[in-house]
Every structure is written in structure tokens, then in C-alpha cells.
Amino acid sequence: MTSKVKYTGNLRTEATHLKSGNTIITDAPTDNNGKGEAFSPTDLVATALGSCMLTIMGIKAQNSNIDMKGAEVEITKIMASNPRRIQKIEAIIKMPSKSYTDREKKILEKAAMHCPVFNSLSSDLEESIKFLWQ
């Protein structure tokens, strides 16, 4: 088992990662009867994509002796209705101000596009992934 999720009332859940004991609170978003005081479940899906891309890039960077410490990803989630779902995820990956060769850029970009979350998303979901090399 990976995690346990408990409904705590008022459209809020608390998820516990069993191995570490870390917790995440979710709230329904304000456009869906919630308070929006924490990540919504769909926010976590979109955010997981960004975290996954940076993690897989980090593994490749580590194995290729590339320094990417300080890289960031900005995520925008766009919802659709009928049925309510994530329609599009936009990700802007901002790389730190360092000199990257064309080969290193290619290695890192390819790694990002092959992360497990990316590979798990529905083919109906639109993704817009941009890399900003400072």
C-alpha cells in the first residue's frame, strides 16, 4: 500500500504517505463548492507532472554529470466540464542560468517527456511543455 486517504469533512481530505508519514491536505476548489485552501485533487495531478519531469530530469542529470540544481517548473491546470476533468496542463520548465550544451539540453528535454506521470496521462489531455534555457 502506498498511501491512505481520509475524508475529514467539509470537502477536505488528508492523505498520508505510509513509508514516510508525510501528509497532504486537499480541498475542493472554489469553482466546485470548496474553500480552495489547499491543493485540489486535480491540482495534485498537474503538480505531479511537474515534480515527475524534474525528478526524471534530475536522474538523467546526475547520471550525465549535469548540474540542474535550481530548475523550476510552473504548472497551469485548465479544467473542462461535461464531464468535469483536466483539459490541459501547461508546464514551463525554467532552467537555471548555466551553460548547457545542445546535447545536455536534448538529454534533459527527452527525460522530461518520458516521465512516468506524463506517460500515464490520458491521450485526450492536452499538454503544453516549454523549456526556458536562461
Per-residue model confidence as pLDDT tens digits over 36-94: 999 999 999 999 999 999 999 999 999 999 999 999 999 999 999 999 999 999 999 99
Helix (H) or strand (E) holding 78: strand 72-80
CB atoms within 10 A of CB 29: 20
Q: How far apart are CA 42 and CA 29, in angstroms?
A: 9
Q: 98 and 47 in one domain?
A: yes
The C-alpha cell at 45 is 495531478
Phi first, then psi: what are they for 117, rounded to 5°? -65, -45
Asked if residue 72 and residue 11 are part of one domain, the reply reads no
The Cβ of residue 92 has, within 10 Å, a number of other Cβ atoms equal to 15
CA torsion sign, 102 to 46 to 121 to 25? positive
63, 128: one domain: yes
- Are 5 and 26 members of one domain? yes
pLDDT in tens, 89-126: 999 999 999 999 999 999 999 999 999 999 999 999 99
Domain ranges, residue 35:
1-39
Q: Is 10 found in the same domain as 66?
A: no
